[in-house]
Amino acid sequence: MGMFDIISAELECPETKKSEKQEIQIKWRKFRSLDHFAVGSSIDDVWPEYDNNWIKADYVCKSCSKKTKGEYGPFIKIDDQKRHYCFVKMEKGRIRSILDEKDFAKLGIEKYVIYD
């Protein structure tokens, strides 16, 4: 597992068609510190293979994943996670845009980095 950073983005669930703020966990930089980023944010020490590229990533969908009632509120168990893909455009160390699969496919871009 390890330490990761988070990119927050408003993304539409392909199953429920509901837009919701989602969290994309990333390990794209040398020194991670559980930082939060959004479109427009700069990532100072992004690895070169991720900079100036589209990056295919995934996220646990808060909209369609089954939630379990817990002592401190609802949460999503690991076995109940539903994941969807998204594409993040990094350019000169800055997050330029984040698209869901449907909108990315409309661009016709075939070259991107896969982050798993």
pLDDT in tens, 71-94: 999 999 999 999 999 999 999 999
Instruction: For 13-26, write each residue's pLDDT tens digit.
Output: 999 999 999 999 99
E-strand stretches of 1-116? 5-12, 19-26, 36-37, 53-60, 83-91, 94-100, 113-114
Separation of first and last alpha carbons in the chain: 12
pTM value? Answer: 0.89
Q: How far is CA 70 from the centre of its chain?
A: 25
| Residue 93 pLDDT | 93
